[in-house]
Amino acid sequence: MAGACPGARSLTLQNLTTAKEISSGAADFCTKDLLVVPKCLDGMAQKLSELNKGNLILMGVPAPQR
């Protein structure tokens, strides 16, 4: 699951590039929607990180030292 957000982000950027290559009309139609996806993914990745930290705390696993 760790690679899901980066993979989805990469796929979204590939789709955006493909839309631009097909035509400017296609790019105009989907650019706004496709640009929202990475922002949503960032929020989801942050939430997953917080949940994982919480789960580690509940299991008694010490937090990694930085």
What's the distance, CA 46 to chain centroid? 10
Domain assignment present for residue 42? The answer is yes
Block residue for tokens 């990469």: 10
Residue 35 confidence (pLDDT): 82
Count structural domains, the chain. 1
Domain assignment present for residue 61? The answer is no
Domain assignment present for residue 3? The answer is no
Say if CB 63 and CB 56 are below 8 A apart.
Answer: yes
Above 60 in pLDDT, residue 1?
no
What's the distance, CA 38 to chain centroid? 5
Q: Residue 57 contacts by C-beta under 8 Å, 6 or more apart in sequence?
A: 63
Domain assignment present for residue 24? The answer is yes
Above 60 in pLDDT, residue 55?
yes
Residue 63 confidence (pLDDT): 62
- pLDDT, tens digit, 9 for 90 and up, residues 2-48: 567 778 888 888 888 888 888 878 778 888 888 888 888 888 888 88
Domain assignment present for residue 20? The answer is yes
Domain range for 20 is: 8-55
